[in-house]
Amino acid sequence: MKLVIADDSSLMRDRIRNQVSVFQEVIIVGEAGNGIIALEMIREFEPDLVFLDLHMPEMGGMEVLRKVKAARLKTKICILTNYSYPEYRTRCMKLGADYFLCKSDDFEKTNTVISNILNEG
């Protein structure tokens, strides 16, 4: 399974990388610190999953999500944010996000997301 990590915090990217390292089937094909690079990586590598932060420089995660869904890519999108307000969750899910997790409350669920996608394949 190919994964892209998109978060402007290098500490969060490290944390995600460490979290997913338990899965031998997961290959991190790219890491992005802003939305423009994230979108380029998603288009280039067509990953199975993207962990996508909402608030990033250059282009926010919601805009990346919108563009990925408009391009009809099969990539699953997991929003992973500190901004877990219900209105953000609702907007992201309407735009086509597959998962919406809060970094502080739901971080451990990232492994559940990966397991779900691996089990689909």
Asked if residues 3 and 49 have their Cβ atoms less than 8 Å apart, the reply is yes
pLDDT at 120: 87
DSSP single-letter state for residue 75: -
> pLDDT tens, 67-90?
999 999 999 999 999 998 999 999
Give the three-class secondary structure for 2.
strand
Asked if residues 54 and 62 have their Cβ atoms less than 8 Å apart, the reply is yes
> pLDDT tens, 43-69?
999 999 999 999 999 999 999 999 999
pTM of the predicted model as reported, rounded to 2 decimal places: 0.96
Asked if residues 78 and 51 have their Cβ atoms less than 8 Å apart, the reply is yes
Domains and CATH numbers, the chain: 2-114 (3.40.50.2300)
